[in-house]
Structure 1
Amino acid sequence: MNALGDAHLRTWTLRFMALLAAGTSDQLAWLGERELETKDVVEEVELLCRVSEGLAERGVFEPADLRGLRAVGRRLGEVDARSRSGPWGNALATDPVWDDIRSLARQVLLTTLGDWRQPLPPPARPLTDDH
Protein backbone atom coordinates (compact mmCIF):
# COMPACT_ATOMS: atom_id res chain seq x y z
CA MET A 1 0.00 0.00 0.00
CA ASN A 2 1.16 3.55 -0.56
CA ALA A 3 1.83 6.08 2.17
CA LEU A 4 -1.44 7.93 1.52
CA GLY A 5 -3.44 4.70 1.84
CA ASP A 6 -1.55 3.75 4.99
CA ALA A 7 -2.21 7.18 6.51
CA HIS A 8 -5.91 6.88 5.67
CA LEU A 9 -6.15 3.43 7.30
CA ARG A 10 -4.31 4.67 10.38
CA THR A 11 -6.67 7.65 10.66
CA TRP A 12 -9.76 5.47 10.21
CA THR A 13 -8.49 2.96 12.79
CA LEU A 14 -7.86 5.70 15.35
CA ARG A 15 -11.21 7.38 14.64
CA PHE A 16 -12.98 4.09 15.21
CA MET A 17 -10.98 3.62 18.42
CA ALA A 18 -12.17 7.10 19.45
CA LEU A 19 -15.75 6.02 18.87
CA LEU A 20 -15.21 2.85 20.91
CA ALA A 21 -13.46 4.83 23.66
CA ALA A 22 -16.22 7.42 23.99
CA GLY A 23 -18.69 7.25 26.84
CA THR A 24 -21.95 5.45 26.22
CA SER A 25 -23.96 8.67 26.03
CA ASP A 26 -21.57 10.08 23.41
CA GLN A 27 -21.74 6.84 21.42
CA LEU A 28 -25.53 6.89 21.51
CA ALA A 29 -25.56 10.55 20.46
CA TRP A 30 -23.23 9.67 17.57
CA LEU A 31 -25.62 6.94 16.50
CA GLY A 32 -28.59 9.29 16.63
CA GLU A 33 -31.48 7.68 14.78
CA ARG A 34 -29.25 5.33 12.78
CA GLU A 35 -29.69 1.62 13.23
CA LEU A 36 -26.15 0.26 13.18
CA GLU A 37 -25.99 -3.48 13.76
CA THR A 38 -23.62 -4.73 16.46
CA LYS A 39 -22.22 -7.43 14.16
CA ASP A 40 -21.26 -4.74 11.64
CA VAL A 41 -19.36 -2.76 14.28
CA VAL A 42 -17.58 -5.90 15.49
CA GLU A 43 -16.64 -6.93 11.94
CA GLU A 44 -15.36 -3.44 11.05
CA VAL A 45 -13.17 -3.21 14.15
CA GLU A 46 -11.88 -6.77 13.74
CA LEU A 47 -10.91 -5.88 10.15
CA LEU A 48 -9.16 -2.70 11.27
CA CYS A 49 -7.28 -4.66 13.93
CA ARG A 50 -6.11 -7.18 11.32
CA VAL A 51 -5.10 -4.42 8.88
CA SER A 52 -3.11 -2.76 11.66
CA GLU A 53 -0.73 -5.74 11.59
CA GLY A 54 0.41 -4.77 8.09
CA LEU A 55 0.49 -1.12 9.02
CA ALA A 56 2.81 -1.92 11.92
CA GLU A 57 5.08 -3.89 9.59
CA ARG A 58 5.37 -0.73 7.47
CA GLY A 59 6.09 1.44 10.52
CA VAL A 60 2.71 3.21 10.57
CA PHE A 61 1.93 1.88 14.06
CA GLU A 62 4.46 1.29 16.80
CA PRO A 63 4.71 -2.14 18.51
CA ALA A 64 2.98 -0.75 21.64
CA ASP A 65 0.12 0.53 19.46
CA LEU A 66 -0.21 -2.87 17.86
CA ARG A 67 -0.35 -4.63 21.24
CA GLY A 68 -3.32 -2.48 22.21
CA LEU A 69 -5.08 -3.03 18.89
CA ARG A 70 -4.55 -6.77 19.24
CA ALA A 71 -6.13 -6.65 22.70
CA VAL A 72 -9.19 -4.90 21.26
CA GLY A 73 -9.39 -7.48 18.48
CA ARG A 74 -9.08 -10.39 20.93
CA ARG A 75 -11.83 -9.01 23.17
CA LEU A 76 -14.12 -8.47 20.21
CA GLY A 77 -13.36 -12.02 19.09
CA GLU A 78 -14.75 -13.21 22.40
CA VAL A 79 -18.13 -11.55 21.77
CA ASP A 80 -20.50 -14.43 21.13
CA ALA A 81 -23.00 -14.58 18.28
CA ARG A 82 -25.94 -13.76 20.55
CA SER A 83 -24.23 -10.58 21.72
CA ARG A 84 -23.49 -9.59 18.12
CA SER A 85 -27.12 -9.55 17.08
CA GLY A 86 -29.33 -6.49 17.16
CA PRO A 87 -28.70 -2.76 17.13
CA TRP A 88 -25.41 -1.56 18.54
CA GLY A 89 -27.19 1.11 20.58
CA ASN A 90 -29.03 -1.60 22.50
CA ALA A 91 -25.82 -3.55 23.07
CA LEU A 92 -24.02 -0.43 24.34
CA ALA A 93 -26.68 0.07 26.96
CA THR A 94 -26.99 -3.55 28.12
CA ASP A 95 -23.86 -5.60 27.38
CA PRO A 96 -20.90 -5.08 29.75
CA VAL A 97 -18.46 -6.29 27.08
CA TRP A 98 -18.61 -2.77 25.62
CA ASP A 99 -17.23 -1.37 28.89
CA ASP A 100 -14.20 -3.68 28.46
CA ILE A 101 -13.79 -2.63 24.83
CA ARG A 102 -14.14 1.04 25.82
CA SER A 103 -11.31 0.65 28.32
CA LEU A 104 -9.07 -1.14 25.80
CA ALA A 105 -9.77 1.47 23.11
CA ARG A 106 -8.92 4.25 25.56
CA GLN A 107 -5.61 2.56 26.28
CA VAL A 108 -4.85 2.35 22.54
CA LEU A 109 -5.48 6.07 22.16
CA LEU A 110 -3.45 6.92 25.26
CA THR A 111 -0.51 4.92 23.95
CA THR A 112 -0.76 6.13 20.37
CA LEU A 113 -1.90 9.75 20.74
CA GLY A 114 -1.29 10.58 24.40
CA ASP A 115 -4.97 11.20 25.19
CA TRP A 116 -8.03 9.02 24.71
CA ARG A 117 -10.34 12.00 24.21
CA GLN A 118 -10.39 12.39 20.45
CA PRO A 119 -12.95 13.73 17.99
CA LEU A 120 -15.46 11.12 16.93
CA PRO A 121 -15.60 10.14 13.28
CA PRO A 122 -18.27 11.80 11.20
CA PRO A 123 -21.52 9.86 11.63
CA ALA A 124 -22.42 7.52 8.82
CA ARG A 125 -25.27 8.88 6.78
CA PRO A 126 -28.38 6.73 6.78
CA LEU A 127 -29.11 4.95 3.54
CA THR A 128 -31.68 6.60 1.33
CA ASP A 129 -33.56 5.28 -1.67
CA ASP A 130 -31.17 7.10 -4.00
CA HIS A 131 -28.06 6.04 -1.95
Structure 2
Amino acid sequence: MNHLGDANMRTWMLRFMTLLAADTQDQLAWLGEREQETESVVEEAELLCRISEGLAERGAFEPENLRDLQATGRRLGEIDAACRAGLWADALATDQAWDEIRSLARQFLLMTPGDWRQPLPRPVRPHTGDH
Protein backbone atom coordinates (compact mmCIF):
# COMPACT_ATOMS: atom_id res chain seq x y z
CA MET A 1 0.00 0.00 0.00
CA ASN A 2 1.35 3.34 -0.90
CA HIS A 3 -1.40 5.72 0.12
CA LEU A 4 -2.92 6.56 3.46
CA GLY A 5 -6.26 6.65 1.63
CA ASP A 6 -5.74 3.03 0.53
CA ALA A 7 -5.14 1.97 4.13
CA ASN A 8 -8.29 3.77 5.26
CA MET A 9 -10.33 2.28 2.41
CA ARG A 10 -9.00 -1.20 3.22
CA THR A 11 -10.03 -0.74 6.84
CA TRP A 12 -13.50 0.47 5.83
CA MET A 13 -13.89 -2.48 3.44
CA LEU A 14 -12.88 -4.98 6.10
CA ARG A 15 -15.29 -3.43 8.62
CA PHE A 16 -18.15 -3.39 6.13
CA MET A 17 -17.47 -6.98 5.07
CA THR A 18 -17.39 -7.92 8.77
CA LEU A 19 -20.87 -6.44 9.08
CA LEU A 20 -22.08 -8.30 5.98
CA ALA A 21 -20.55 -11.55 7.25
CA ALA A 22 -22.12 -11.34 10.70
CA ASP A 23 -24.99 -13.58 11.72
CA THR A 24 -28.42 -12.11 11.09
CA GLN A 25 -29.11 -11.62 14.79
CA ASP A 26 -25.82 -9.73 15.19
CA GLN A 27 -26.66 -7.55 12.19
CA LEU A 28 -30.08 -6.78 13.64
CA ALA A 29 -28.53 -5.97 17.02
CA TRP A 30 -26.03 -3.67 15.28
CA LEU A 31 -28.89 -1.92 13.53
CA GLY A 32 -30.80 -1.48 16.79
CA GLU A 33 -33.51 1.09 16.28
CA ARG A 34 -31.80 2.57 13.22
CA GLU A 35 -33.81 2.59 10.06
CA GLN A 36 -31.13 1.68 7.53
CA GLU A 37 -32.41 1.50 3.97
CA THR A 38 -31.50 -1.66 2.05
CA GLU A 39 -30.65 0.39 -1.04
CA SER A 40 -27.97 2.28 0.92
CA VAL A 41 -26.37 -0.94 2.17
CA VAL A 42 -26.35 -2.43 -1.34
CA GLU A 43 -24.89 0.73 -2.90
CA GLU A 44 -22.13 1.01 -0.28
CA ALA A 45 -21.17 -2.65 -0.60
CA GLU A 46 -21.24 -2.51 -4.41
CA LEU A 47 -18.97 0.54 -4.35
CA LEU A 48 -16.49 -1.19 -2.08
CA CYS A 49 -16.49 -4.25 -4.31
CA ARG A 50 -15.90 -2.10 -7.41
CA ILE A 51 -12.91 -0.26 -5.97
CA SER A 52 -11.30 -3.48 -4.72
CA GLU A 53 -9.46 -4.05 -8.00
CA GLY A 54 -7.62 -0.74 -7.73
CA LEU A 55 -6.81 -1.46 -4.10
CA ALA A 56 -5.39 -4.84 -5.05
CA GLU A 57 -3.29 -3.23 -7.81
CA ARG A 58 -1.79 -0.93 -5.18
CA GLY A 59 -1.14 -3.75 -2.70
CA ALA A 60 -4.00 -3.21 -0.24
CA PHE A 61 -5.34 -6.70 -1.00
CA GLU A 62 -3.91 -9.78 -2.64
CA PRO A 63 -5.27 -10.44 -6.14
CA GLU A 64 -6.73 -13.78 -4.99
CA ASN A 65 -8.94 -11.88 -2.51
CA LEU A 66 -10.66 -10.21 -5.45
CA ARG A 67 -12.56 -13.35 -6.47
CA ASP A 68 -14.72 -13.32 -3.36
CA LEU A 69 -15.21 -9.56 -3.46
CA GLN A 70 -16.20 -9.68 -7.12
CA ALA A 71 -18.60 -12.56 -6.41
CA THR A 72 -20.10 -10.51 -3.57
CA GLY A 73 -20.47 -7.52 -5.89
CA ARG A 74 -22.15 -9.65 -8.56
CA ARG A 75 -24.59 -11.11 -6.02
CA LEU A 76 -25.42 -7.66 -4.70
CA GLY A 77 -26.06 -6.51 -8.27
CA GLU A 78 -28.58 -9.32 -8.71
CA ILE A 79 -30.82 -7.99 -5.95
CA ASP A 80 -33.75 -6.50 -7.83
CA ALA A 81 -35.22 -3.08 -7.20
CA ALA A 82 -38.20 -4.43 -5.29
CA CYS A 83 -35.93 -6.21 -2.81
CA ARG A 84 -33.76 -3.09 -2.41
CA ALA A 85 -36.74 -1.03 -1.27
CA GLY A 86 -37.43 -0.72 2.42
CA LEU A 87 -35.46 -1.30 5.57
CA TRP A 88 -32.43 -3.56 5.67
CA ALA A 89 -33.68 -5.21 8.88
CA ASP A 90 -36.76 -6.38 6.98
CA ALA A 91 -34.70 -7.57 4.01
CA LEU A 92 -32.40 -9.55 6.30
CA ALA A 93 -35.40 -11.49 7.56
CA THR A 94 -37.08 -12.11 4.21
CA ASP A 95 -34.56 -12.10 1.34
CA GLN A 96 -32.38 -15.21 0.90
CA ALA A 97 -29.84 -13.12 -1.03
CA TRP A 98 -28.45 -11.86 2.28
CA ASP A 99 -27.60 -15.42 3.35
CA GLU A 100 -25.57 -15.82 0.15
CA ILE A 101 -23.93 -12.42 0.60
CA ARG A 102 -23.10 -13.34 4.20
CA SER A 103 -21.39 -16.51 3.00
CA LEU A 104 -19.40 -14.69 0.32
CA ALA A 105 -18.31 -11.98 2.78
CA ARG A 106 -17.19 -14.67 5.25
CA GLN A 107 -15.19 -16.41 2.55
CA PHE A 108 -13.49 -13.13 1.67
CA LEU A 109 -12.61 -12.47 5.31
CA LEU A 110 -11.29 -15.98 5.85
CA MET A 111 -8.96 -15.59 2.86
CA THR A 112 -7.82 -12.08 3.79
CA PRO A 113 -4.85 -11.77 6.12
CA GLY A 114 -5.01 -9.15 8.81
CA ASP A 115 -6.86 -8.25 11.94
CA TRP A 116 -10.40 -8.16 10.58
CA ARG A 117 -11.66 -10.23 13.50
CA GLN A 118 -13.08 -7.34 15.43
CA PRO A 119 -16.41 -6.20 16.75
CA LEU A 120 -18.98 -5.00 14.27
CA PRO A 121 -18.50 -1.44 13.06
CA ARG A 122 -20.18 1.19 15.20
CA PRO A 123 -23.36 2.44 13.61
CA VAL A 124 -23.09 5.91 12.20
CA ARG A 125 -25.43 8.29 13.94
CA PRO A 126 -27.76 10.08 11.57
CA HIS A 127 -26.87 13.70 11.00
CA THR A 128 -29.44 15.91 12.72
CA GLY A 129 -28.01 19.30 11.82
CA ASP A 130 -27.79 20.24 15.50
CA HIS A 131 -24.00 20.48 15.51
Preserved CA contact (<8 Å) 2:6 2:60: yes
Q: Cα deviations across residues 4-47 of structure 1 (Å, max 9, x unaligned)?
A: 10000000001000000000000001001111100000000000
Corresponding residue number in structure 1 for 2:42: 42
CA distance, structure 2, for counterparts of residue 108 and residue 116 of structure 1: 11
TM-score by structure 1 length? 0.93
Corresponding residue number in structure 1 for 2:85: 85
CA distance, structure 2, for counterparts of residue 4 and residue 114 of structure 1: 17
Q: What percentage of residue pairs aligned between the two structures are identical? A: 73
> Which residues of structure 2 form unaligned runs of 5+?
none
How well do the aligned residues superpose, as a CA RMSD in angstroms? 1.9
Q: Residue 125 in 1 paired to residue 107 in 2? A: no
Tell me the CA shift for residue 119 of structure 1. Answer: 2.0
Tell me the CA shift for residue 120 of structure 1. Answer: 1.0
Corresponding residue number in structure 2 for 1:98: 98
CA distance, structure 2, for counterparts of residue 95 and residue 39 of structure 1: 13
> Which residues of structure 1 form unaligned runs of 5+?
none
Tell me the CA shift for residue 114 of structure 1. Answer: 7.3
Tell me the CA shift for residue 128 of structure 1. Answer: 2.0
Q: Cα deviations across residues 51-107 of structure 1 (Å, max 9, x unaligned)?
A: 111101111110111111101000001000000000000000111100000000000
TM-score by structure 2 length? 0.93
CA distance, structure 1, for counterparts of residue 128 and residue 46 of structure 2: 27
Tell me the CA shift for residue 118 of structure 1. Answer: 3.5
Preserved CA contact (<8 Å) 1:13 1:48: yes
Q: How many residues align?
A: 131
Given the superposition, is the C-alpha separation of residues 116 and 3 from structure 1 closer, same or farther in structure 2, using an over 3 Å criterion?
closer
1:1-131 equivalent positions in 2, closer than 5 A: 3-113=3-113, 117-130=117-130
Preserved CA contact (<8 Å) 1:22 1:117: no
Given the superposition, is the C-alpha separation of residues 123 and 4 from structure 1 closer, same or farther in structure 2, using an over 3 Å criterion?
same
CA distance, structure 1, for counterparts of residue 56 and residue 129 of structure 2: 39
